Chains A and B, each alone.
Chain A
Amino acid sequence: DIQMTQSPSSLSASVGDRVTITCQASQDIKYLNWYQQKRRKAPKLLIYDASNLEAGVPSRFSGSGSGTEFTLTISSLQPEDIATYYCQQYGDLPQVAFGGGTNIEIK
């Protein structure tokens, strides 16, 4: 099984800061997606296939990476970005796995 490790598990940053979250896979993966989950809400798709912005998602969100290391970047953190962020890898079904999550707070 492929294990997905996110870092950090939590972070506190100021409004306007550039924030980067990393997702590391235990072996090379092809595809990685990112989700935002606000408190007591369902997750929302932000980025698919590493770097493609889902329709309607603000352009301050971006994704990059390949192989075993991927990143989600928020170029200028906004108060509404307070949430937990999850990465999710996939290959041929049933190979699907989520990372452990990164909780972002505002300083």
Chain B
Amino acid sequence: QVQLQESGPGLVKPSQTLSVSCSVSGGSIRRGGYYWGWIRQQPGKALEWIGCIHHSGRTYYNPSLKSRLIISVDTSKNEFSLRLSSVTAADTAVYYCARIRGLYSIWFEHWGQGTLVTVSS
């Protein structure tokens, strides 16, 4: 059974860059046609899709975040990461990583437990 585990800084200052990683265990990130995605949830709010990546490096981003966002993959470490620049308090959220069934089957079938990132000075 695949498992995902996020790791993040906990606290980031406004205008800085937020970086969160997702370690995948129980299976290779290179296996099959899976995509690997990021979703966030601001306190008390609904889920928001951030973007996703294939092990080949192909990425897709939420247009509302695209200008500040980079998602990358490190197959040697079996992990993928997100970097969100120029953060504000509105980027305070629990950040989840998840496995997506496939390019044409976009449901999030396995999730990490989430990591809270707070943007504050």
Contact = CB atoms under 8 A, between A and B. Distances in A.
Interface size, B (range): 20 to 34
Interface of B: 39, 46-49, 51-52, 60-63, 96, 101, 103, 105-109, 111-114
In this complex, which of A86, A88, A94 has the most chain B Cβ atoms within 10 angstroms of its Cβ?
A94
A98 B46 contact: yes
Main secondary structure of the interface of B (DSSP, over half): strand
Given A35-B47, A86-B47, A93-B103, 8 more contacts: A37-B47, A41-B113, A42-B112, A43-B39, A45-B107, A86-B46, A93-B106, A98-B39
A68 B48 CA distance: 20
A42 B105 contact: no
Interface of A: 1, 31, 33, 35, 37, 41-45, 48-49, 54, 86, 88, 90, 93-94, 96-101
Contacts of B108: 33, 35, 43, 45, 88
